[in-house]
Amino acid sequence: MVSTTLLCFLPYLFLLFPYTTSYDIIRDYSGSTFFDHWDFYGSWDNLTLGDVWWLDRASAFQNNLAYINEHNRAVIKVDNVSDVPFNEKRNTVRITSQDSYGVGSLWIIDLTHLPYGCSVWPAVWTKGPTWPDDGEIDIIEGVNLMGANQYALHTLPGCSQPQGVVQTGVSGETDCSQPSGCVVSEASPNSFNAGFAAAGGGVWAAQFDVAGIFIWFWSVRDVLNCRKRSIADAMQS
Ligand X SMILES: *[C@@H]1O[C@H](CO)[C@@H](O)[C@H](O)[C@H]1NC(C)=O
Binding positions for ligand X, rule: CB under 6 A: 43, 46-47, 77, 80-81
Q: Please state whether the peptide bond connecting residue 11 to the residue before it is cis, i.e. omega within 30 degrees of 0.
A: no
Active site residue 70: no
Q: Do 204 and 109 meet the contact criterion of CB atoms below 8 Å apart?
A: yes
Q: Residues 135, 117, 178, CA angle at the centre, nearest 5°?
A: 25
Cα(148)–Cα(145) distance, rounded to whole angstroms?
9
SS3 199: helix
**Residue 186 catalytic?**
no
Of 77 and 154, which CB lies nearer to ligand X in the complex structure? 77
Alpha-carbon gap, residue 149 to 156, rounded angstroms: 23
- Catalytic residue, from 70, 88, 136, 173: name it: 136
Minimum separation from the CB atom of position 78 to ligand X (A): 8
Paired with 215 in beta bridges are: 206
- Least distance from C-beta 77 to ligand X, angstroms? 5
Q: Which is nearer to ligand X, 66 or 176 (CB)?
A: 66
> What's the min distance (Å) between Cβ of 47 and ligand X?
6
Choose between 132 and 172: whose C-beta lies nearer to ligand X: 132
CB–CB of 76/52 below 8 Å?
no
Nearer to ligand X, 47 or 165 (CB): 47
Are 208 and 103 in contact by the 8 Å Cβ rule? The answer is yes
Shortest CB 126 distance to ligand X, Å: 18
Please list the active-site residues.
Answer: 136, 141
